[in-house]
Amino acid sequence: MRFWLLPLILLGEIALFTALSGQSFSPASGATSYFRSYFADLLCQSAPVLLLAFGMTVILMTAGIDLSAGSMVALVACAMASFPAGPGFWWTAVPAGLALALLLGATNGALIAWLDVPPIIATLGTMILYRGLCFVVMGDLEKSPFLNVPAYEWLGQPGGAALLLALTFALGGCWLKRSRWLREILMLGGNPVAARYAGIPASRRIVQVYTLAGGLAFLAALAFTARNSSVSASSLTGLELQVIVAVVLGGTRVQGGAGSLLGSFYGVLIIAVMDEGLRGAAQWGARNLPFKLSHLEYILLGLLLVVGVWLNTRGRKPADNRPPG
């Protein structure tokens, strides 16, 4: 993992897109307020993805994967949206959403740990199942009780988003970094047989990891619904791939056994900045390019992923970057 690489890409992107968007800072004081609102927006916008990326990083460390993340957030949001609005929402819908999210995550974990289904298959199945349940709960409706819940909107504003992110990344990350739990997870991902011989309760750890991811999906659902204020059964389709791309870009190995929470944080921001920047530079693109600039996003995303991962694995010993398949 090269620590300077990701922040450097991020800074380069911000500089490039700020230049392309045609923003001018004639009084230098304008720059401060511009960047303040820019980063506040960025943080709110990407809070759900950041929260999911935290869980996905830990899952990838165990050599697992979670394709159901997007469906899980959507299902939790749909379930919460079915409750009546009002002050009581905090005491009914929110705990129910948390319980549901933990249950969904634990279901993934149980399938993987106790039934021995490979993670990619188990979560592919639950991805379809959870998305199907969204339609069972919501039908074709789009609901938005979140607008009429006191103080709910605050969660989607910079203060709330910062609080959620600080809770997970700063507090959770610092605790995890020193914890025995994370060491056991990494060992489990690096060599499951050795981990079992070493007396690590493998099944229990796996269930814990996926339940943790469920809890984070609940927080992501809070952040998403607070900002977008309405949800439908097909919300957040394809979110899981976005999260996986970001995490992998951040230097976490899909083969497990290594990973970086900070890297995932940068990975999400790099993609979010690109997304936002291309939108801001649309006018420049319309003048100078024969195609829509927004269509370039897919290409850049793919290139970024390959180049980022390639640069990250290049310095390793040959045994490490042999393609496992």
Partner 1 sequence: MTHGRFSPSLRRRLLFLLIGNVVLLLAIAVTMKQGGSFADVLTRCGPDVAPVVLAGIGMTGIICTGAIDLSIASIIVVAGTVFGILARRQMPPLLCFAACVGTALLLSITNGLLIRALRLPAIIITLAGLALYRGVALVLADVAIPGFGGSIDLPRDEYHSPGKQFATPLLLLALGGALIWEWFAVTPRRWLALGSSEEACRLAGLNPHAIRRSAFAVGGLFLGLAALLYVTQIQFIEPARLALGFELQVIGAVILGGTNIFGGEGGYGGTALGALFLYFTGQWMTYAGISPYFQEAITGAIIIGVIGLDCGLHRRRKRMEELA
Residue ranges in contact with partner 1 by CB under 8 A: 67, 111, 114-118, 120-122, 124-133, 135-136, 139, 193, 196, 237-238, 241, 244-245, 248, 254-255, 290-292, 295-303, 305-306, 309-310, 313, 321-325
Amino acid at 20: L
Contact between 47 and 223 (Cβ < 8 Å): yes
DSSP 267-293: HHHHHHHHHHHHHHTHHHHHHH-SS-G
**Taking the complex as a whole, how short is the minimal distance between the CB of residue 4 and partner 1, in angstroms?**
21
- Quick one: 199 or 238, whose CB is closer to partner 1? 238
Closest contact distance (angstroms) between CB of 196 and partner 1 is 8
State the minimum distance, in angstroms, from the CB of residue 127 to partner 1. 7
To partner 1, the closest distance from the beta carbon of 294 in angstroms equals: 9
Min CB(317)–partner 1 separation in Å: 12
Query: What distances in angstroms separate CA 87 from CA 163, 179, 228, one per listed residue?
Result: 21, 38, 19
For the bound state, the minimum distance from the C-beta of residue 292 to partner 1, rounded and expressed in Å, comes to 6
d(CA 183, CA 250): 19
Nearest residue (CB) to partner 1, 182 versus 300: 300
Q: Which is nearer to partner 1, 18 or 242 (CB)?
A: 242
- Whichever of 126 and 225 has its CB closer to partner 1, that residue is 126
In the numeric block, which tokens belong to residue 2? 């090269």
Compute the residue count for the chain.
325
Q: Which is nearer to partner 1, 31 or 296 (CB)?
A: 296
Task: Considering the complex, state which of residue 123 and residue 211 has its C-beta at the smaller distance from partner 1.
Answer: 123
Query: Which residues sit opposite 231 in a β-bridge?
Result: 143
Q: Cβ 256 to partner 1, closest distance in Å?
A: 11
- Strands annotated E in 74-160: 142-143
Taking the least distance from each CB to partner 1, the nearer of 91 and 298 is 298
Q: How far apart are CA 76 and CA 143, in angstroms?
A: 13
Sign of CA dihedral 131, 95, 143, 246: negative
Backbone angle region of 263, left / alpha / beta, with phi > 0 → left and psi within -120 to 50 → alpha: alpha
Query: What is the CB-side half-sphere exposure of residue 289 using CA atoms within 13 A?
Result: 14
| C-alpha–C-alpha distance, residues 140 and 76, integer Å | 16
